[in-house]
Amino acid sequence: MREQLCQDLGIAYLRDDTLEAYFAKVQRSAIDMREAVKQKTFATGIPEYYYRKVAQLKTKSEYIWLGDYPKEAERRKQGIPVGAREF
């Protein structure tokens, strides 16, 4: 499916799949999460936590959200420029 998405949208994904790149990415993510937690307060975190929990209950596990991919892929097949928007 990834290949089809990339082909339809005319993009490519990065193929840096070395172990060192993975560890560097995980380490950067951990640092970013730590910084985000430091900036939050307990009072603002509790409502966000429960909002996410309720939102997870509403979603179906078999549904895969593809965002604007179907629309964008069709627009590109029709030759509509990337920056053009429909209103």
Could you tell me the two tokens for 80? 């509509």
Looking up tokens 């990339």, which residue turns up?
6
Mean pLDDT by 10 residues, the chain (87 residues): 83 80 93 90 85 76 77 84 58
What pLDDT score does 28 carry?
A: 95
Residue 53 to residue 65: CA distance in whole angstroms: 18
What pLDDT score does 24 carry?
A: 93
Residue 2 to residue 12: CA distance in whole angstroms: 9
What pLDDT score does 82 carry?
A: 64
What pLDDT score does 34 carry?
A: 92
What pLDDT score does 84 carry?
A: 55
**The pTM is what?**
0.38
